[in-house]
Amino acid sequence: MATFKAVRIDKADKGTSAALTQFDEAELMDGDVTVRVEWSTLNYKDGLALTGKSPVVRRFPMIAGIDFAGTVETSTNPNWKPGDKVIANGWGMGETHLGAYAEKARVKGDWLVRLPEGMTARQAMAIGTAGYTAMLSVLALENHGLKPADGPVIVTGAAGGVGSVAIALLSKLGYHVIASTGRMAEESYLKSLGAAEIIDRNELSGPAKPLAKERWVGGVDSVGSTTLANLLAMTKYRGAIAACGLAGGMDLPSSVAPFILRGVSLLGIDSVMCPIDLRKQAWARLATDLDAGKLSDMTQEVPLDQVIDAGSKLLAGQVRGRTVVKIS
């Protein structure tokens, strides 16, 4: 019987358990493309799934991991042939469909994006869902009409994965980037990515007034809760905040004041079910607009047998930037 290495999540007496095991190839789920997974990555949602801290996994057994880069092994999908280099993010992988922390994945060909010219599979996963979500956020701000000359932009959860990539992207595009972090010791790291100013996240974590002094015209928020409420209250007239995360909480204790008195927009960002054309656009922009040196500086690598431990550290706020996972 053919098996492959995988991080498997099972239901346990209390919650769930995660372990590196051999997985039976016959148990792979339906799909028209089978991929040899080479690299994956560690995202916040992976941390939640691996630790069982939130009910991310909705089918058991599950293979954890929400994104991968690899090479097509077999395909009955007309768009893909053996040897093609591909990327997959979301679509329920690691939640309802067997995921990425495995030597093999079987998925729908319609979920796949071709690895951009000039980008390695490792770089694609150094970017990962977190970085691609940062790009979706930047695209949303651009679609809103935001330009660097309009004023400063804020990035929250700055030392995390989404935050680090958002800073690198926005600074390369010419924005004056204000980075909000709970890790002031990471000031030189954040400046090396392109942050022009660093603020302590405590400045934004208390209860928000309906409106406060206008400080930025746009932002990428990976924190949610009172942080997002404060961001909105401090956004300049007709500015916009792209909301993509909940690292500080899922609530939003805000008011309509920023929307109806300052014409501020709240732009929702979802990476999981994002339409394929927008995915392709985001990956193409990542290939041109993300500095490869900065990406490398923000990335650490772990082998598959250390990803469970790394997931706990990520949720404890002890991981900086991005973590790429070597699969095979």
Least Å distance, CB 94 to ligand NDP, is: 12
Nearer to ligand NDP, 53 or 183 (CB): 183
Residue 170 as a binder of ligand NDP (CB under 6 A): the answer is no
Which tokens is 107 given?
């998925």
From the CB of 280, what's the least distance to ligand NDP, in Å? Answer: 17
Q: How far apart are CA 21 and CA 294, in angstroms?
A: 34
Q: HSE (CB half, 13 Å, CA atoms) of 217?
A: 16
CB burial of residue 212 (10 Å; 0-12, 13-18, 19+): middle
220 binds ligand NDP (CB under 6 A): no
User: x/- contact string, 261-280, with ligand NDP (CB under 6 A)?
Assistant: --------xxxx--------
Rounded to 5°, the CA angle 85-67-313 comes to: 135
133 counts as binding ligand NDP under rule CB under 6 A: yes
- Write down the least CB distance from residue 9 to ligand NDP, Å: 17
In whole angstroms, how close is the CB of 139 to ligand NDP at the nearest point?
Answer: 13
Please tell me the count of residues contacting ligand NDP according to CB under 6 A: 31
Q: Among residues 94, 245, 258, 311, which is the contact residue for ligand NDP, using CB under 6 A?
A: 245
Closest contact distance (angstroms) between CB of 288 and ligand NDP is 21
- Nearer to ligand NDP by C-beta: 4 or 216? 216
Which residues pair with residue 93 across a beta bridge? 97
Q: Which residues contact 142 (CB under 8 A, 6 or more apart)?
A: none
* 92 dihedral zone (left: phi>0; alpha: psi -120 to 50; beta): left
Distances (CA, A) of 269 to 2, 41, 206, 222, 258: 39, 20, 24, 10, 19
- x/- contact string, 221-240, with ligand NDP (CB under 6 A)? -xx---x-------------
As measured in angstroms, the least distance from the Cβ of 315 to ligand NDP is: 7
Q: Is the dihedral of CA 260, 261, 265, 266 positive or negative?
A: negative
List b or e across 179-191, with b for residues whose CB sees 16 or more CB atoms inside 10 angstroms: bbbbbeebeebbb
Comparing CB distances to ligand NDP, the nearer of 78 and 207 is 207
Residue closer to ligand NDP by CB (options 72, 107) is 107
Q: Are 129 and 164 in contact (CB under 8 A)?
A: no
Q: Which of 109, 182, 194, 311 binds ligand NDP (CB under 6 A)?
A: 182
85: left (phi over 0), alpha (psi -120 to 50) or beta: beta
Stretch that binds ligand NDP, among 6-14, 19-27, 112-120, 219-227 (CB under 6 A): 219-227
Residue of 16, 40, 181, 265 that binds ligand NDP (CB under 6 A): 181
- Applying CB under 6 A, among 5, 8, 45, 279 the residue interacting with ligand NDP is 45
DSSP letters, 99-166, are: -SSBSEEEE-GGG-EEPPTT--HHHHHHHHHHHHHHHHHHHHHHHHT--GGG--EEEESTTSHHHHHH
Half-sphere exposure of 52 (CA within 13 A, CB side): 15
Site for ligand NDP in 51-110 (CB under 6 A): none
Note whether 178 binds ligand NDP by CB under 6 A.
Answer: no
Could you say whether residue 157 binds ligand NDP (CB under 6 A)?
yes
CA distance 62 to 105: 12
Which residue's CB is nearer to ligand NDP, number 28 or number 266? 266
Site residues for ligand NDP per CB under 6 A:
43-45, 129-130, 133, 157-163, 181-183, 201, 222-223, 227, 244-248, 269-272, 314, 317
